[in-house]
Amino acid sequence: MSGHVHKDYTGAKFGMWLFLFTEILLFGGLFILYSVYLARYPQEFISAGKELNVWFGGGNTLVLLTSSLFVAVSITALRRGSKRLCLGLLGGTIVCAVIFMVNKYFEWSAKIDHGIYPGSAHLKEMLPGEMVFFNIYYLTTGLHGIHVVIGALILAWTMVLIINDKVNANDWVILENAGLYWHLVDLIWIFIFPLYYLILH
């Protein structure tokens, strides 16, 4: 059987899902941290949560949901043979990732300008619950931001493979798995947004 390249799509996808489960548990740990401290300091979480700008959070939600749509549609496009549409959608996803990170940059800069960052003198003067809120806010959104950057790099690499026809209508599992990773990034944000930005009452 020389020359025959064995492809195990189910195995490849299942491996990716197993990895995603470890990611879910990783972020799950951070959400547990959040919920335990929310139970302990409900009022202070509300007063700290009001400091976050719902427009940044909501805007980034819109950007990530749309980018997820692009990735999902790109797989259908590739399998139907529309390589150019597929590449355009993946390019659009990377643009979304850049917009997300630029938003995050402005959001974090504004907070840091107000002296709110881990270990700052201003943070130490705050109530303990507010301090905890901002520390886990930076930890969770920071780790999520790293995932956005990695996801964009993986999608860029996938685009190169598609341009070279290494990934094509008959062999698309790399795009599928890269897409799964990107959707996970979206999935985590779906929980971050209400928990950190919409805790107003």
Partner 1 sequence: MSEEHAHIVSYKTFLIIWVALLILTGITIAVAQYNLGALNIWVALGIATLKAGLVVAVFMHMQYENRLFKLSLLSALTILAIFIGFTFFDVLYR
Instruction: Summarize as ranges the residues that interact with partner 1 (CB under 8 A).
Output: 9-10, 13-14, 17-18, 21, 24-25, 28-29, 31-32, 35-36, 38-40, 54, 58, 61-62, 65-66, 68-69, 71-73, 75-76, 79-80, 170, 176, 179-180, 183, 186-187, 190-191, 193-195, 198-201
* Inter-residue contact 131 to 183 (CB < 8 Å): no
Give 59 or 120: the residue with its C-beta nearer to partner 1.
59
Closest contact distance (angstroms) between CB of 166 and partner 1 is 18
| Residue 117 or 193 having the CB closest to partner 1 | 193
Closer residue to partner 1 (CB): 67 or 134:
67
DSSP codes, 136-149: HHHHHHHHHHHHHH
Smallest distance from the beta carbon of 192 to partner 1, in angstroms? 9
Q: How far is the CB of 125 from partner 1 (least distance, A)?
A: 27
**Residue 68 or 131 with smaller CB distance to partner 1:** 68
Dihedral angle over CA of 13, 194, 147, 116, nearest 10: -170
Interatomic CA distance for residues 151 and 193, integer angstroms: 19
Tell me whether residue 194 is exposed, middle or buried, using C-beta atoms within 10 angstroms of its C-beta: 0 to 12, 13 to 18, 19 or more. exposed
Residue closer to partner 1 by CB (options 73, 123) is: 73
The two structure tokens encoding residue 192: 């971050």
Distance CA 72, CA 187 (A): 14
